[in-house]
Amino acid sequence: MLCEDKPAHECGVFAIVAPELDVARLTFFGLYALQHRGQESAGIAVANGRAIRYHKAMGLVSQVFNEENLRPLAGYVAIGHTRYSTTGSSKLENAQPFVVESALGPLAVGHNGNLTNAATLRRELLLRGVGLTGSSDSEVITQMLAGGEGRTWEEKLKVFMVRAQGAYCLTVLTRDAVFGVRDPLGLHPLCVGRLGERNWLLASESCAFGPIGAEFVRAVEPGEIVMLTEEGPQTLAHMPTARPAECLFEYIYFARPDSMLHGRTLHAMRVAQGRELARESPAEADLVIPVPDSATPAAIGYAQGSGLPYSEGLIKNRYIGRTFIQPDDQLRKVGISLKFNALGDNLVDKRVVLIDDSIVRGNTSGPIVRLLREAGAREVHVRVSSPPIRHPCFLGVDMATYPELIAYRLTIDEICKHLGADSLAYLSLEGLIRACRHEGDTFCKGCFSGRYPVDVELVDKEVFEIK
């Protein structure tokens, strides 16, 4: 299998209240815009004031849904989910939304993130006699809400927030309402949108609003419980911590370049990361090229900051990662060429600065350097627009384990030699924070520093699987 050397995405959540519109169809297109956040499974649940109907399956959004299975999803309130597994393996039992019946009526939950005390909460549910069919912390959340303390959904959500630790952005659907919940640290984004005067939305990123004609209104605040109605978003509770800790990888890689965080596009912040990298780590070279597509904004910024011309040196096959047909042994030997072709005309006898946004395992960066040399590049200087990743993530990102992280095992000089590059430099943590500037340093830096905003347990993501 061709393995991408990137942190794996988390999940995408979406919700809508629209009494006179086809909410299932709008949710489909919202999820389509969030597909980059998870490609393993997708699901939509719709409520009509009495019951919840849903459909979910393994695969991409466009593979899971069609006209036939969208048609029965009639109602005026909906949530949707596209998944990448962080706790619980990739199988149908862990696909979302989770839908259960409770004393207060039907309930559906979509979750992006990772609970750091999931093992404790799961054990409590099992001791209470609650049966669990999957192995994800998202099912734990659903059952905590369904059977937890409280006479109303608002009370149940508040109790959950007191008990839960770690990262969670939730969309919670009842028979006639939808709630959005963001953890007190604000680790991952959740935002509110509006479509017309009476239709309101929630999404992991603002990029989900444009394709359906909606507009971004505001972010859901850390620790906020918001309920959507025809009148708009209503804040039911606000329980933030004293020091928020947003995930820095949303700014580096995860969120789509056209999404907004703190009033700026991710594209603008990634260009700024490239400019900071050029200032910190210049190189004597002839041109700057990105590893497409995610490093393109940083490469633009590096070119601006260095005065070197920006060019393309690699063409990406954007569909190789979206097939379920795996390459055979002969094709595996081709390796990185399945994903990238080099533009020899732009590279022959050139000293190249190759910009990437991150290096996790180092299993694709070396082959890319060799590909550029084989295409005629005289020198290849690698520059990375994030600091070295030396620690795993336990808060909703599948980052790899300590032994898999190349920057945990090797020094920067050793990594450079391993990649076969002429030089290698990373953006400093201080430079990254400057590029992502907004009010204060309110970021989670755990994967760079090993210091996490909450206590974490070193557990495998399939720890709850039945062996």
Nearest C-alpha neighbor of 267 from the set 299, 220, 219, 306: 299
Residues at the binding site for Mg(2+) are 294, 356-357
Annotation says 11 is catalytic? yes
Residue 148 CB coordination number (10 Å): 17
Give SS3 for 60: coil
Helix H, strand E, coil C: the string for 212-236 is HCCEEEEECCCCEEEEEECCEEEEE
CA neighbours within 13 Å on the CB side: how many for 252? 34
Give SS3 for 438: coil
Give SS3 for 443: strand
Q: Are 87 and 8 in contact (CB under 8 A)?
A: no
Which residue among the candidates 3, 11, 207, 416 is catalytic per the annotation? 11
Q: Are 311 and 351 in contact (CB under 8 A)?
A: no
DSSP string, 274-315: HHHHHHHS----SEEEE-TTTTHHHHHHHHHHH-PPB---EE
Q: Phi and psi for 208 in degrees, rounded to 5?
A: -75, -15
Residues at the binding site for [4Fe-4S] cluster are 247, 393, 444, 447
Residues at the binding site are 247, 294, 356-357, 393, 444, 447
Find where tokens 């409770």 sit.
102
Distance separating alpha carbons of residues 250 and 190, to the nearest angstrom: 12
CA neighbours within 13 Å on the CB side: how many for 76? 13
CA neighbours within 13 Å on the CB side: how many for 39? 8
Q: Which residues are catalytic?
A: 11
